[in-house]
Structure 1
Amino acid sequence: MAVIGAERFVPPGADMRELREAVDACRGCALYRDATQAVFGDGPADAKVMMVGEQPGAREDIAGAPFVGPAGRLLDRAMVEAGLDRKRIYVTNAVKHFKFTRPDDGKPRIHKKPGRTEVVACRPWLVAELGQVQPDLLVCLGATAAQAVLGPAFRLTQHRGEVIVPDDGDFAGCRVLATVHPAAVLRSRDQDEVYAGLVDDLGVVAKQIGGYA
C-alpha cells in the first residue's frame, strides 16, 4: 500500500476525544496492517508541556497507551528527578503505530525505526494534538521526534537541551526542546551518564515553564 498520509483521516475541527476515537481508523500508511492498534497521546489537554517520542513500542501497542513500557518507566523516574509531574504532561509519539520485525523463532517483536515517509504521513495527527494542547514547550524525545518537528537536517547531538523556535512549517512559533529518548538510555553502554544528561535536559524544561509542572 502506498503512503497516502493521515490528513484525510483526521476529522476537521475535532476535539481531543474525537481525535482519539478516530485515530485507530487511520490508513495513512501501511503500519496499521501489522500493529495491534493505533496509540494516541495521553495527558491533560491543557498541559504546559507536550512530550513527543518516536513511536509506540511493543508494550504500548498492546496497552493502547504511550510510554507504559520500560522506556516509559525510566522517563517517569527522570521526570520526577527533574521536577516534572507525568500526570500534568501530555505525552505522545510522532508515529501512532508500532513498526517492528518478527523473528522466525517466535521471539518477541523487534522495534524497527519508522522511515521518513511514515513520519511525514503521520504528521497531521501530531499537528492536531499540538493544536488542542497548545503547550508552552514541546519536548522531542530522540532524533526521530526532533526531526519530525524541526526537519530532517536537525542534529540532536548539536542542539540537545536548547530551546528552538522554528519560523516556518507546521510547528512555526512553537518553543521546542530536544533531548534523548529514554530508550536510548536503556540501550547505552554508559547508562548512568546518558540518564544524567536526560535529567539535566528535563531540568531545563522545568525551568522554562517556571518550576514544577
Structure 2
Amino acid sequence: MGPDTRARATSESPAGREQGQEYDASPYLPRRGGLAALRRASADCRGCPLFQDATQTVFGTGSPTARLFLVGEQPGDQEDRQGEPFVGPAGRLLRRALAEAGLGDEEVYVTNAVKHFKFTTAPRGKRRIHKAPSLREMSACRPWLAAELRLVSPRLVVVLGGTAGKALLGNSFRVGEERGILRPMPSLEEGEGEGGGLLLATVHPSAVLRADDREAAFRGLVADLSVAASALD
C-alpha cells in the first residue's frame, strides 16, 4: 500500500474521521464466516493508526479446533515481515518450551492481542525497535481476539505476558502475580461472566530472551506450561 492510499484509508477509517475518536476494529469484522473470512477481513483493518507503519496485519494461525490457544502481545519485526505470529527468536523459544512441557504434539492456535507491529526506529540505522501497544490500541483490536476465541472455542487459553493478560483480564493484570495459576476463562462478550474453558498466564518468551539468567527464566516458562499440559490431560 502506497503513502497516498494509506493517507486516504486513514481519513476514511473510523479512527481517522475525527481526531480523538475511540479506536475500534469492530466495523471491519465480517458478519459471517470462519477463521479464513476473519483473516481476510483483518488485512483491511483500519481500527487504529498502527496499520499505517506496519507492513501488514499479522493474524492468528493454527488449528481451528485446537484445545490450546496461545495469546502473545503483538507481532515483532520478523512477524511483521513474514505475516505470521511467533516466527522470530521468541517463537523458536516458545516451541522449545512447549515441547519440554509435554505440549509438543498438541494442536495449537497462536495469535496476538494486537495484530499490527508497533515500533520506533533506532536513531542510527533502520532497525525497528518494539514499542508496547497502548490500552486504546489493545481495546481497538480486542474484537479480532474475541472472534478468534469464539470460533476456535479452546479448552485452555495461555496468555503470554502482561499485554496479553490485560487484553483478556483488564488493566490491573500483573503477570508476576497471576502466572502459573489456572482460572476460569472470562467472557469477552459484554455483560457475560465466564467464557468457558480455562486460562493460564505466564511470561512472554521475549522476556526469557531478555532475562539475566535466561536458563532460570526458561525453566519458569516450562513449569508454567507444564501446568497447562496437566490441565489438558
TM-score (norm 2): 0.86
* Equivalent of residue 62 in structure 2, options 27, 43, 57: 43
Secondary structure at 1:132 match in 2: helix
Contact 2:56–2:80 (CA under 8 A) maintained in structure 1: yes
Which 5+ residue runs of structure 1 have no aligned equivalent?
none
Aligned to 1:186: 209
CA shift in 2, pair 1:136/1:166, >3 Å: closer
Higher Cα Rg, which structure: 2
Identify the range of structure 1 (84-93 vs 106-115) with the bigger mean alpha-carbon deviation.
84-93
SS in 1 for 2:110: strand
Partner of 2:220: 197
Please name the residue that 1:52 is paired with: 71
Higher relative contact order (CA 8 A, sep 6+): 1
Amino acid at match of 1:120: S
Q: In the aligned structure 1, how far is the partner of 2:106 from the partner of 2:46?
A: 30
Structure 1 residue 103: Cα displacement: 1.8
Tell me which moved more, 188-197 or 52-61. Answer: 188-197
Q: 2:52 aligns with which of 6, 24, 33?
A: 33
Amino acid paired to 2:68: V
- Work out whether residues 3 and 28 of structure 1, in 8 Å CA contact, stay in contact via their aligned partners in 2: no
Residues 1:130 and 2:152 aligned together: no
Name the structure 2 match of 1:113: 132
What is the percentage of aligned positions where both structures have the same residue? 51
The 1:24–1:169 alpha-carbon spacing in structure 2 relative to 1, beyond 3 Å, is closer
Per-residue displacement from partner, 1:108-129 (whole Å, max 9, x unpaired)? 1000000010000000000000
SS in 1 for 2:95: helix
Rounded to whole Å, the distance in 1 between the matches of 2:194 and 2:154 is: 13
Residues of 1 paired with 2:200 and 2:38: CA distance?
Answer: 25
Q: Which residue of 2 aligns with 1:5?
A: 24
Q: 2:194 aligns with which of 169, 172, 190?
A: 172
| Match for residue 21 of structure 1 among 40, 52, 62 | 40
Question: Partners in 1 of 2:35 and 2:185 — Cα distance?
Answer: 25
Q: 1:104, CA displacement in angstroms?
A: 3.1
Residue 177 of structure 1 deviates from its aligned partner by 0.5
Superposed displacement of residue 165, structure 1? 1.6
- TM-score in terms of structure 1 length: 0.94
Counterpart amino acid of residue 34 in structure 1 = D
Cα deviation for residue 172 of structure 1 reads 2.6
2:62 is paired with a residue of what secondary structure?
Answer: coil
The whole-number CA distance in structure 2 between the counterparts of 1:17 and 1:166 is 24
Task: Provide Cα deviations, 1:162-209, integer angstroms capped at 9, x if missing partner.
Answer: 112255643733411100000000011111111100000111111101
CA contact (8 A) 2:168 2:186 kept: no
Q: Contact 1:150 / 1:166 at 8 angstroms: preserved in 2?
A: no
More strand by share: 2
Distance 1:160 1:128 in 2: 25
